[in-house]
Amino acid sequence: MCVKNSMVAGKLFAIASSLLLLTNCATSPTVQVSLEPRSSHSSVETVYSSELSTPSVVTNFLKFHYYMLPEEDKLSQREAIFFALNNLDHDVVTSWYNNKNNTQGHVKVVSSYPTGSGYCRIFLSQIIYKGKQRSFSETACLSNASQSWIFTK
């Protein structure tokens, strides 16, 4: 009887430990990946109201969209990023400029490191649009299997 109770207690302990480990794994932060760099589809606006009132939410929404890059500038930013990732050494800057709406961007790879199936590059980019300036630090990894860049957040 004592052995049987010890076995039941051991099994309950094992189940509780497993559940605890699974819960910790489920709540740990996950890495989000994307096929697009964050800087090419984010707004250059960085100052928003933290209030949750309807006027503040509407104002934040309008500011976000007002300072969103036009499609042609998003394309220029993406092209500059992929050019830098594929061709440039560390600390070499590539830039683009759009005379039509006075938008500009700069991209610089600052470091690279190997991964199990390829390598990753950390790059800095800066966008200036409608008098606002925003800087981004992003990481892109190239897998030898897929030969495409994956952007991590």
Give the pLDDT of residue 20. 42
Q: Supply the pTM of this predicted model.
A: 0.74
Confidence label for 147 from pLDDT (cuts 50, 70 and 90): confident
Q: Is the pLDDT of residue 8 over 90?
A: no
Question: Which residue, 4, 25, 23, 5, is CA-closest to 15?
Answer: 23
Bridge partners, 68 (sequence order): 43
What is the overall mean pLDDT for the chain? 81
Q: Please state, in angstroms and rounded to a whole number, the distance separating the CA atoms of residues 67 and 100.
A: 16
Confidence label for 6 from pLDDT (cuts 50, 70 and 90): low
Structural tokens at position 146 = 């897929």
Question: Which residue, 37, 153, 48, is CA-closest to 105?
Answer: 37
Can you give the length of the chain in residues? 153
Q: Are 131 and 30 within 8 A, CB to CB?
A: no
Average pLDDT over residues 82-109: 95
Q: Is the pLDDT of residue 120 over 70?
A: yes
Q: Between 121 and 47, whose confidence is greater? A: 121
Confidence label for 50 from pLDDT (cuts 50, 70 and 90): confident
Q: Please state, in angstroms and rounded to a whole number, the distance separating the CA atoms of residues 66 and 131.
A: 12
- Beta-sheet strand order (sheet of 149-152): 33-34, 149-152, 132-143, 118-129, 103-115, 93-98
Confidence label for 26 from pLDDT (cuts 50, 70 and 90): very low
Q: Are 95 and 103 within 8 A, CB to CB?
A: no
Question: Which residue, 151, 89, 91, is CA-closest to 120?
Answer: 151
Bridge partners, 43 (sequence order): 68
Q: Please state, in angstroms and rounded to a whole number, the distance separating the CA atoms of residues 68 and 70.
A: 6
Q: How far is CA 71 from CA 75, 98, 101, 150, in A?
A: 6, 12, 12, 21
Give the pLDDT of residue 35. 75
Give the pLDDT of residue 23. 41
Average pLDDT over residues 110-116: 93
